[in-house]
Every structure is written in C-alpha cells, then in structure tokens.
Structure 1
C-alpha cells in the first residue's frame, strides 16, 4: 500500500512541471494569436476565452496523470489481458466523449453564433478527433513499456540481492557443517592435554580456539577484510589443526608489502584450506605444506594458495574443484566481481596443487596511510 502511494505521488510530481510548462506555452500562444483573431477588440474576456481554448490540450496531460496512477493498480498481465484491454477501451471512449464535449462548449463560448458544427459532426466527422484516440493509445503503450522496464530492473535487483543472500547462506552452511568436527577434535585434544598434565599447552590451545571463534563470530558480518587479517585467521586455524592432525602440516607465506592492506572478501582462503584438511581427515601420517603468496599485478590482486604433498600423495584437480568451499568461493567471486575475476586450479606436477585467485585490487587507505606514516 505504501509503495503504491509513493508511486502515485511520484507520478503527480512528474505531471505538475509538465502542466506548468504547458500553461506558459498556452499563455504565450494566446497572446500572439489574440492580436491576430481579435483585431481592434482588445478586452480581457476575449483573451480569457482564447486562453481557455488553448488549455483544452491539458486533456492529454490529465489523461497521462490518470494513466500513470491507474497503471499502478491495473497492470498488464497475461491472466488479465482481456480485462486490461476492455478497461482501456472503456476509458478511451469516456475520455474521448468528455474531451469533445468540452471542446464544443469552449468553441461555442468563443465563437458564439458563428459556430455551426453539431456534436455528431464533431465526434464522427472530424479528422482532429482521431488525435485523441492516437494520443491515448501512444500514452498507454509508452507507459506500459516504461513500467515493464521498471519492473524488469526491480526484478534484476531483487535477484542480485537474493543471489548474494544465497551465497552468504551457503558459506554459513558450509562453515556450520565443517566446524563441528574441527571443534570436537580440538576440544578432545584440550581434554587429552589436561589429562596428561600439559596445562600450558592446553591453555595456549584454548586461547587460540577462543581467538578463532571470536573472529568467526564478530567478523562474519563483514563483507570484506584486509588480506593480512584473513591470513592471520588462517594461521590461527592451522596452529590449532597442527595439534590434532595425524601428520605434519607446514605453512609459509610471501605477502608483497603493497598487498598487505588489500581488501578481500571475507573467508576466501581459510574455508578452502579447511575443506582440504577435511578431505584428508581419513588419511594417516601425511606431510604437506600450505604456501600463500600475494602480489599486485595491473591493478589486480593475485593470491596463490599452493599445497605441496610429500610421499607421493596428492589430491586430484577434480577433487579440489568439487569441494563445497571451492564452489562457494568461486560463486562469491563471480557474484561480487563478475568477469573481472578468475579462479583457477592447476596441478603443476604430481604432488603440488596451485589455486590462483585474481580480482580487482582495493586498498584500505586508512591503514595504508598509517603504515606509511610509521615507516617514515
């Protein structure tokens, strides 16, 4: 209801300036025509009559305002096509007869005895009367096309918003699915360390878990964070995983200085690493290393996530591409950056998997300025 009222008010705001412009044109045209039609009879009554005859063309603007407001309630739909056609035919007939009646009255008032045309001739034997019909049809077609375009644009915006909400929900669902195993395993490790009187190790692990969960809760509402924060979150996660993983996990990073403060979509690296570890949870005595590298290339931020396995073990490219986290991250990047991004998975040799992420570089200028000031 509120939306319809806003549309009606907006339509009247559009019509009022048009009516004012037409009034000025009618007054100017009446003044010019007045001296030609009433030579020597300069009086206010004749001028008023002539102006009224010019203002008859307000009809088209009144019809436009009426159609704009009716279009809010009566829209063209397949199910109501016959009703829509019948309604506009009826409205056209009524507006046509009313307009011609007003025209005859104004002409009789203006020309008095010299006006001899009958009402029948004005309606059915007057080529000018077709202007009303053609104008009405053009107005209806134009308004319908504009309204269809507006509805299409609104639907596109709603679809984009729904896609964004869906991607966020998919990411959240993915995290809630993987986190339970991670949490249970971590809590079991803490319990085991306490049982072995390793209170310091248990306290450190509990502190790291607290930081990890705090970041998950408080940062998940953001759309983007700095790259350095994303990597700190990843480092905390891997530090926790190392305590319970049956094998050796290495981690190195090479972050270009100009990319440290780059803004990235939140949780685009850690979920992928977590999914890889989840895929390897059934394996024993594995040794592998995660290596993260970042750089700025041609106004784009490039992030490389390299997983290097030892002992001849490796996950296939197809396995990596079918991980839920990889699919969600790819969809998020496509939704945010469209064609300006890329996500590639490559196997350079038998035991190395490279994941390359590329999207437009965007810097957190406040932190960047602070770092530059500290360096000086």
Structure 2
C-alpha cells in the first residue's frame, strides 16, 4: 500500500486540524491565565519570567509533541473501531497512553534542555524531573481524554452520516430493484407466455390455472407493496421466490427443474430483500441454449465460517464473459452488487463463473451474519 493510500485510509486531516485547534485554544487560555497572574498576583510578579522562553520552549515545544502524539492516537483509534475492541480494553489502552504522553513530553523536554545547554548532564536532577511529571499528571490525563472524546465524537458523527447516506441509497436501490423487477416481469413476452399458459390450463387443469393466476398476482403484489426493508429473513425471501418459481415452472413445463438445498436452521437469517429472484432469473435466462434445452437449477444456502453462502448453479450453457464484464452489461446484476456493497461495504463476495467441470454456471454470494 502506497503512502498516499495509507494517509487516505488512516489519517483524516480535518480531524488533525480539529485537535490542533482545540489544543491551540487550550494554550491561549494558558497564556491569558499567565498574563493575568503576572499582572495582578504579587507573588508571580517577583518570579523571574521571560515570555519568549515560555512561548518557545514550553508552549510551542509542548504543542508540537501533543499534536503529533494525538495524530497517532487518532490513527490507532480508527483501527480500534475497525477491529471492534471491547470498551474495557479501549479505556485501559487510553489510560496507559494518557500517562505515556506525560513521560514522552518530560523526556523530550529534558533531552532538549540538555542538548541546547540549558541544563548540563551533571546538573540534571531526575527527582525534579519526576516531580514535574507528577505535578501535571492529572492535567495531562484530562487533556488527553478530552481530545480522545473529540476523536470518538468525530468518528461517530461521520459514521452516522455515512450510515444515513447508505440507508438513503439502499432505500432508493430497493425501490429501483422493485421497479426493474416489475418492468422485467411485465415485459410482453412474460405476460403473454404466462397468460397463454393460463389459457391452456383452463381447458386442461382449471385448478392449476387458478393457482397460476394467484401466483402471478401475489408475486406482483410483493414487488409493488411489500415493505421497504432492505433485509428480510431467508424464510420470507423464499416465500416470495416461490410465487415466481411456480410461474416459471408452468412456462417451462418439463424442461426446467429447480431444487433447493437449504438448512432449516438458517431460515431466520437476514438476507437482502429481493436477492434470489434476479439471480435465479439470470441463471435460467442464460442457461438455455441450442445444446441445452433442459435445465437443472440448484439453490443452496449454507454456513461457511462466519459467512452465509448463497449459491445458484445450473447445468446449462457456460458464460463467455468475465464477472466484471457481466456486471457492466447486466443492469440487474450491477444493482445486486451495488446493494451488497452498501449493506456490507467490502465484507461480501459476489461472483458468476463457470463451474470447475465446465458443466454449467454458478453464482456465489457470501454475506456476513
């Protein structure tokens, strides 16, 4: 990973400026306090005090160290949030860091004083240095945690805004998915084929004709009026899918076989709404060819480590394009990929590929719990 990418991933310069501004405000308060004490408190007037030494050797030196240190803390905090550490562990780590910053400032200040000849090595008093560290220990602790609070608040508010954007985008995508599905299913060939099948069934099997009309009605109703939840239970997703499969089975009659291999304990797991139908439709649509007039489709759902795996495979015609090319060409497939990205960021897997034995195509989707 290049330096620029590392900066983009871990360093937020707006946050660094916010921390720098906060500590600058703190230093201005310190300057105002010292000025007041020098002007109105007799004991302070008698002490030897040089403003240039105080501003350069104390405030500026301290300011640079603190901002550099807190920038590293901000980077570490982002990693803590990404790794989901417990609050007990996070607070313990920050407590140690709040003590460590005082030690670092003391060490660097003493080293700087020796290097510039302000204090000789022989004159250096370790006990005095420790006393100076202890004297401001509580102040360092409060300042550190105030800045950590700013860091966490900043990241929290940013995550809230990003979540709101993702939620809004997901709602829009879900509506678009429903409309595209409805548009796809209302294409003339779909309706004509379905209605023709119903017309034939009215003479051959009136009960089946009624069932097909009911399935068509229920399927379109689910697309139009089902709740706008982005994720639903697998059981509910399969129920909606069944309406579509019943219609497809009527259309393709004995030339299509669709089987499911789904563990019952997974039925309550949450999956993206309206996910299976476009995947299966794509598998059926591209599975038939001159050499593949009969199609077997298998829908599998199983657990693999901490991921839920959804696999749709057929024994039909192989795909001639790569997964990336299919994403560019297929609007429905790209919509699925976009929805998965917004729901799970980069923590998912989606690929359409030829099976290893070159006897069909498989679509694999892996999503976290």
| Normalised TM-score (structure 1) | 0.50
The 1:37–1:232 alpha-carbon spacing in structure 2 relative to 1, beyond 3 Å, is closer
Q: Check if 1:307 corresponds to 2:307.
A: no
Contiguous gaps of at least 5 residues in structure 2: 1-21, 46-153
C-alpha RMSD of the superposition? 4.1
Q: 1:317 and 1:327 mapped to 2: Cα distance?
A: 18
State whether residues 247 and 284 of structure 1, in contact with CA within 8 Å, keep that contact through their aligned partners in structure 2.
no
> What is residue 324 of structure 1 aligned with on the other side?
331
- Offset from partner CA, 1:65-99 (integer Å, 9 cap, x none): xxxxxxxxxxxxxxxxxxxxxxxxxxxxxxxxxxx
The 1:202–1:303 alpha-carbon spacing in structure 2 relative to 1, beyond 3 Å, is same
Q: 1:168 and 1:216 mapped to 2: Cα distance?
A: 10
State whether residues 166 and 343 of structure 2, in contact with CA within 8 Å, keep that contact through their aligned partners in structure 1.
no
Q: Check if 1:222 corresponds to 2:229.
A: yes
Q: 1:220 and 1:178 mapped to 2: Cα distance?
A: 20
State whether residues 224 and 264 of structure 1, in contact with CA within 8 Å, keep that contact through their aligned partners in structure 2.
yes
> What is residue 358 of structure 1 aligned with on the other side?
366
Counterpart of 1:231 (choices 238, 247, 264) is 238
Aligned residues: 227
The 1:233–1:165 alpha-carbon spacing in structure 2 relative to 1, beyond 3 Å, is closer
Q: Check if 1:177 corresponds to 2:152.
A: no
Give the drift of 1:220: 5.3
Give the drift of 1:355: 1.0
The 1:295–1:317 alpha-carbon spacing in structure 2 relative to 1, beyond 3 Å, is farther
Counterpart of 1:261 (choices 259, 263, 268) is 268
The 1:199–1:359 alpha-carbon spacing in structure 2 relative to 1, beyond 3 Å, is same
Q: 1:292 and 1:305 mapped to 2: Cα distance?
A: 5
Matches within 5 A, 1:91-170: 157=162, 160=166, 163-164=169-170, 167-170=173-176
Give the drift of 1:329: 1.0
Contiguous gaps of at least 5 residues in structure 1: 1-14, 39-148, 362-376
> What is residue 197 of structure 2 aligned with on the other side?
189
